Amino acid sequence: MRMFNKETNIKRSDFTVKVYPDLKICSWVSKKDLPEEEKTKEVEQMGGMLKTLTYHEAWQEYWTRASEEDKEWFTTLPNFDSNIFKEITSIDINQETEEMTMEEVCKALGKTIKIKK
């Protein structure tokens, strides 16, 4: 069986998939959570809209919900290659997350941000 473009010593019949990513290709977005430019007459009438995500966007959304155990299952697959994983999912597991205050975010973007509830 090949994994990450390399042969393994695992037979397909012996491999157990333990994690099935719940990729949400479509999701309902409430009007209040949409940017102003997406608030059409139809969105106003329906109170929101059904958004379609690309395959990579769906992976990104799933990865934010995945448990650490699920993430570890993927990254410990035989022959795991972070570059190939990124090519498939658009997820860069080597990317560090930086914590910032709202003031730091505003400064980095060069904008004033107001958060709506």
The full 3-state SS of 15-46, as one line of letters, equals CCCCCCCCCCCEEEEEHHHCCHHHCCHHHHHH
Question: What's the domain count of the chain?
Answer: 1
Q: Mind listing the pLDDT tens digit for each residue in 56-105?
A: 999 999 998 999 999 999 999 999 999 999 999 999 998 876 777 888 88
Residue 114: inside a domain, yes or no? no
Cut 0.85: pTM above it: no
Residue 101: inside a domain, yes or no? yes
Residue 58: inside a domain, yes or no? yes
Q: What is the pLDDT of residue 49?
A: 94
Domain interval for residue 41: 2-109
Q: What is the pLDDT of residue 117?
A: 65
Residue 98: inside a domain, yes or no? yes
Residue 116: inside a domain, yes or no? no
